[in-house]
Structure 1
Amino acid sequence: MDMQSFQKGEYAAKDDLLGYRLIEGKKVGEYSFNSLGFRGKDFQVSKPKDTIRVMCVGGSTTIGSNAGGDNYTYPYILEELLRKVFPKGQRIEVINAGVFGYHSWHSLLRVEKEFDRYDPDFYVFMDGLNDVMAAYSIDKKALEHFANGAGSPYLSQLVNNNSESFVGRISAFLRVSALYSLMEHAGRTVQDWLESLNFDLKMREKMGLFGYRRNVERMVSILREKHKGVVLLNYPWIVDGTMKNEESASTLPYRIDPGLLKLYDFGRAYVQRTNAEIAAKLSVPYVDMQPIFDEQAKEWGLKRLYSDNLHFTRYGNYLLAKAVCRELVRNEAFTHMAGQAAENVNLDALFPEMSSWRPLEPGEACMGHDLVGWFGVCSAKSRIHVSGLDDIEIDPLGKWRWAYGGMIGLKFTAEAGQRLRIEFAINNPIPGQGLSIQANGVEVYKATDIPAQKWLVEKREGTCQITAKAGENQVNLVFLQGNHQGFDFAPADARTLNAAVLHLSIDNQ
């Protein structure tokens, strides 16, 4: 059933039913998989007494790719929110059943074959993204064969839809109409419009063959028969529905092939419309995240929401969790089990680490993490403003950031007075280099006559303690010598380079 030729990597193993599944008890990078093969902490197979169990089902956007850690996925955050909103009712468990690359066929098979053993009370489904990607990448004839094998009741209608001739008729009409000149005047040729229309028609046909709508409706019907609650969660796409070319792609914070823009635009419109129609037809609670993310993007920018072109930051996952939480608070079946919701709960105030999070900007770093190797997320109160430290550079011997201009400046705000530890490691290219570390004007470390060192092999390491005050603090690492200041170790580089910084961090003592 692995329709996407998904790259399984170290965290998945072959599976006869699903193609592949996560390896139980495995930890890879930021991902921890429990003894049952789900991301997050362990739980009992048999649902404990007086427990409400919610199963979040989907692909990489559910499992939380690039979120920064197990605790920053939307299922984890949802459990935290629900426990705050329903403090006196039954215990609430939320299971993260997302798997990288899974689409609606995987979800349907798991509903039919696997999930009953865990006895969830409610399901939250966020599928569609991987269905679009799979349908796009698979040849139409292969999809027809696949659909025949799946017994699609709509197959003959879909296959017999002659989209090519339909486009031809539209083209002939437009070329003799006033609309033709109007569209050209607006800077959009009929040919461009027809190509877009033709692409959409072909993709609708392929999505019909792939079976997204049929699969979701089947899942809902199965769970209804078992008296389970269902919420459909619509995936929010990073595109705004109007991006058509390389110029449009350049406005996104992450690189995307301009050729994929029309696929993203199609996916946004198709999945949103299909989910809304299914929800209306089957009277299923529906949470559409697209308008929520669109509004947030206008106010805060896309980088606060997305960690790449497809996946979410911890703030994006917080928005998903908060929207689902609000839907469950309104759901009579859920509140019947969970009890009375607490009144006037300010979720943003209860979870400031989530609600106030924003991505690191150029010139910022994060307290408690290596300034030379940290690419993750950072809360507002842990943010450090950095000067005199260039971008990360990498070669086969390692990675570093050049200290330049004679001083590295680290500015941060502390909520109260506290003791902090500074750790550093530098590779020094200048004979007789000196280094002084000063905290709020007081020297706390000094080294003189540091010898020149073999490039990225030798290093000078050090540790010192500082006393931070409540409010704004300034730590400076001051170098005695630099490139072009009596010693040119890099004559062709105009920068006043002082040392290659291999490690630098400020953390609680």
Structure 2
Amino acid sequence: MRARRIFLLICFSGLLLAVTAFASELALRASGHISTASIHAISNADFVRVPGMFEPSQSVEETPHPKLHYHATINSLGYRGPEFQRISPPHVIRILCLGDSGTFGQFVNDDETLSANLERMLRQEGNSVEVINGGVPGTTIVDQVEILKRSMSLAPDIVILTFSENDITDLEAEPSQFAALAENRRVKGRTGLKTVYELIRDTALFNYFLKVRATWNTYSAPHVSADVPSSSPEDSATRHEQLWATYAHHLETMLQTLSNRNIRLIFNGYPTHQRIGADTFTDDRSRIQLSRAESLAREMGIPTVSLLPSFRETGLTKEELYHLPYDGHANRMGYVIQATALLPALRESIQEARNNISPASQP
């Protein structure tokens, strides 16, 4: 009799849990604030098969916010955007865009990303080009060097590296995004867990859990008490310079990797919305970091495009260039202006690529 009561209690608890989960799923979907689908990172099986960083052959309508709906497609090689051949067709100049979520095109459709705009504009000028979107959200230069290594099999003729203004502070992350994605692949590949993950990954509840976990990680980070002396200004300045040294080292590594194969590198300085209109920076380090990054690239002899003048010359407000007030990423207009500003440097690099037989572009 007691065993029967325990069994009924377990059944009732399970039913109650299922009903609660179902109701929560419906409520989250109805809210419009949680995606029921998202772009998935690549698995271990595909990681050794294709060069991209995303699960191949995805087509997703992401709805992270009622005002931020966008369509994202991942091709069969694991890159965002349309299909292209692994081997570059003859006489086609191949351009690879590297960067974080800004390069990936967070919150804009496939045909509105930087790479899509560049390809369209260059083809309209009569250039035979392919522009590959190698952007991966959450990455900085340490990760982008690794992504470049994986993408070298595509034999790009030109690489555009976009500097985002969080790239320096993101170097503090432990582990790096590339290492975190490797751990993610390992966990998802465990026997049994893979099946469970595939069943729940496109539910609102699971995506809500990921959002809550990210928020928790942010706010549960150790905070320094007001009674405990924080690091001295000298220590803080030293650490800041160490991060810049790390960035410079990896930029030099990327440049040498490309130069050794006669591949041209263009440095693209992308401004935060805080630079449009009134100055809202609270410290000088942040205020000068964009110009410092651009100066660093120029000192290395890298053709450098500063987007800030182009953004300001439009006379548009930050709300007209970015997804404000909902998000700080560029909107459709921001990507058009960015692509237009890059055209002169790209035209020159394309001409150089045509005038020189690049070992990287040979089959």
The two structures share one fold, judged by TM-score above 0.5: yes
The SS at the match of 1:55 is: strand
Q: 2:141 corresponds to which residue? A: 104
One of 80, 84, 94 as aligned partner of 2:124: 84
Q: 1:122 corresponds to which residue? A: 158
Q: Within 5 A, what are the aligned runs for 1:189-338?
A: 201=237, 204-208=240-244, 211-240=246-275, 248=280, 261-262=281-282, 266-267=285-286, 269-279=288-298, 281-296=299-314, 299-308=315-324, 309-331=327-349, 332-334=351-353, 336=355
Q: 1:203 to 1:268 in 2, by over 3 A?
A: farther
Q: 1:131 to 1:199 in 2, by over 3 A?
A: farther
Q: 1:199 to 1:77 in 2, by over 3 A?
A: farther
Please say if residues 64 and 74 of structure 1, whose CA atoms lie closer than 8 Å, have aligned partners that are also in contact: yes
Mapped to 2, the partners of 1:286 and 1:230 lie a distance apart of 9
Q: 2:91 corresponds to which residue? A: 50
Mapped to 1, the partners of 2:40 and 2:319 lie a distance apart of 27
Aligned residues: 251
Please say if residues 236 and 289 of structure 1, whose CA atoms lie closer than 8 Å, have aligned partners that are also in contact: yes
Where do 5+ consecutive residues of structure 2 fail to align? 1-36, 62-70, 180-230, 358-363
Mapped to 1, the partners of 2:343 and 2:354 lie a distance apart of 11
Equivalent residue letter for 2:285: F
Greater Rg over alpha carbons, structure: 1
Structure 1 residue 125: Cα displacement: 0.4
Please say if residues 237 and 268 of structure 1, whose CA atoms lie closer than 8 Å, have aligned partners that are also in contact: no
Q: Percent identity?
A: 24
Mapped to 2, the partners of 1:137 and 1:227 lie a distance apart of 32
Structure 1 residue 130: Cα displacement: 4.2
Mapped to 2, the partners of 1:219 and 1:237 lie a distance apart of 24
Could you give the per-residue CA deviations for residues 471-496 of structure 1, whole angstroms, max 9, x where no partner exists?
xxxxxxxxxxxxxxxxxxxxxxxxxx
One of 28, 39, 54 as aligned partner of 2:60: 28
1:134 aligns with 2:170: yes
Q: 1:239 to 1:203 in 2, by over 3 A?
A: farther
The SS at the match of 2:94 is: strand
Please say if residues 11 and 28 of structure 1, whose CA atoms lie closer than 8 Å, have aligned partners that are also in contact: no
Higher RCO, Cα 8 Å, sep 6+: 2
Which has the larger share of strand? 1
Could you give the per-residue CA deviations for residues 64-85 of structure 1, whole angstroms, max 9, x where no partner exists?
1112x10000110101111122
The SS at the match of 1:205 is: helix
The SS at the match of 1:56 is: strand
Structure 1 residue 288: Cα displacement: 0.7
Could you give the per-residue CA deviations for residues 76-96 of structure 1, whole angstroms, max 9, x where no partner exists?
0101111122x1x5x211111
Please say if residues 236 and 268 of structure 1, whose CA atoms lie closer than 8 Å, have aligned partners that are also in contact: no
Mapped to 2, the partners of 1:35 and 1:130 lie a distance apart of 30
Q: 1:318 to 1:236 in 2, by over 3 A?
A: same
1:64 aligns with 2:105: yes
Where do 5+ consecutive residues of structure 1 fail to align? 1-7, 147-194, 249-260, 339-509
Structure 1 residue 271: Cα displacement: 3.8
Mapped to 1, the partners of 2:239 and 2:276 lie a distance apart of 16
Structure 1 residue 27: Cα displacement: 1.8
The SS at the match of 1:24 is: coil
The SS at the match of 1:36 is: coil
Q: 2:9 corresponds to which residue? A: none
Q: 1:180 corresponds to which residue? A: none
Mapped to 2, the partners of 1:330 and 1:315 lie a distance apart of 24
Mapped to 1, the partners of 2:105 and 2:119 lie a distance apart of 15
Please say if residues 25 and 33 of structure 1, whose CA atoms lie closer than 8 Å, have aligned partners that are also in contact: yes
Structure 1 residue 269: Cα displacement: 1.9
Q: 1:292 to 1:136 in 2, by over 3 A?
A: farther
Q: 1:93 corresponds to which residue? A: 130
Please say if residues 42 and 56 of structure 2, whose CA atoms lie closer than 8 Å, have aligned partners that are also in contact: no
Equivalent residue letter for 1:27: S
Q: Within 5 A, what are the aligned runs for 1:314-393?
A: 314-331=332-349, 332-334=351-353, 336=355
Equivalent residue letter for 1:49: P
Please say if residues 55 and 94 of structure 1, whose CA atoms lie closer than 8 Å, have aligned partners that are also in contact: yes
Mapped to 2, the partners of 1:226 and 1:337 lie a distance apart of 12
Q: 1:75 corresponds to which residue? A: 115
Structure 1 residue 237: Cα displacement: 1.3
Please say if residues 267 and 302 of structure 2, whose CA atoms lie closer than 8 Å, have aligned partners that are also in contact: yes
Q: 2:360 corresponds to which residue? A: none
Mapped to 2, the partners of 1:240 and 1:203 lie a distance apart of 25
Equivalent residue letter for 2:157: D
Please say if residues 59 and 98 of structure 1, whose CA atoms lie closer than 8 Å, have aligned partners that are also in contact: yes
Equivalent residue letter for 1:106: D
Please say if residues 56 and 123 of structure 1, whose CA atoms lie closer than 8 Å, have aligned partners that are also in contact: yes
